[in-house]
Amino acid sequence: MSETVRMRTGIIHHDFVGEARGLAQALTERYSSRSEWWTCSVAESSGLGEMVVETDLVIAIGGDGTILRSAHVAAPLGIPILGVNMGRVGFMSEIEAEDALDGLDWYLDGNARPELRTMIKAQIGDDATPHHALNDVVLGRGREIRLVDIALSIDEVPVTTYRADALVIATASGSTGYSLALGGPVMEPEEQSFLVKPVASHMSLQGGLLIKPGSVVEMTLRTDTDALCSVDGFYEAPVTSGQKVRVEVSEHSATFLRRDPPNAFYDSLTRRLGMRQGSMQRTSMDGDD
């Protein structure tokens, strides 16, 4: 009789939230018979090495930042991610922390729907190493508080030169982050297009541009002052005048586990943004009279 193959599950938890570390320990103890486990903090996740290989599931416990870091570990290996929310908004999370201990069984049983989210990659200047982003790539001013000139081209066609604080290239996942704060549109999670949105632009296509998945976007710095390119907010590289940042869709994608159908995204969006919905709003107003 062949031996049953057990799952291998990893947990990446927030570094400084004690409750996240405690929940990670409680999950490994409750479900010790269901899986082999490894755990680490976000700070330790970059040094996982061989530990993550052959992992079947990564559980991220924290806010969207923790989930974002976990995606960078899991996506290149095609490992699905289950986000457990201990943050304020948790756009990418799936379940709340208080529901995780009793609710994990359903996901371990393989019931969840996979949601594939497009990533983008950036080649910065002469560095041939691609840097992958789930949320966004941002080219903007460095230490000096002044506008920078950034020339934009799409598929080798010059479009415009932005005079702005920065230029953001965002995915659908990133559309609910920095881009949303800039007044950009919200995109459905599995949308493969990406968005170009300026920060504090002096005129020049302030509304942004939606770019088809197969396109290549190049941002060229046209200012002598220092600039920085940030990838998902935790990798930064200096950019000098004349250097380019090339951005296109990545060969990696992040897979998130979901209980609800795709159209549940809209309810989740309005709930997480604290927006009232039609009938609920009328009931509340009637009660206030």
What positions carry a catalytic annotation?
Answer: 64
Q: What are phi and psi of 223, to 5 degrees?
A: -125, 145
Radius of gyration of the chain (CA): 21
Return d(Cα 147, Cα 169) in angstroms, integer. 18
Contact yes or no for 59/69 (Cβ under 8 A): no
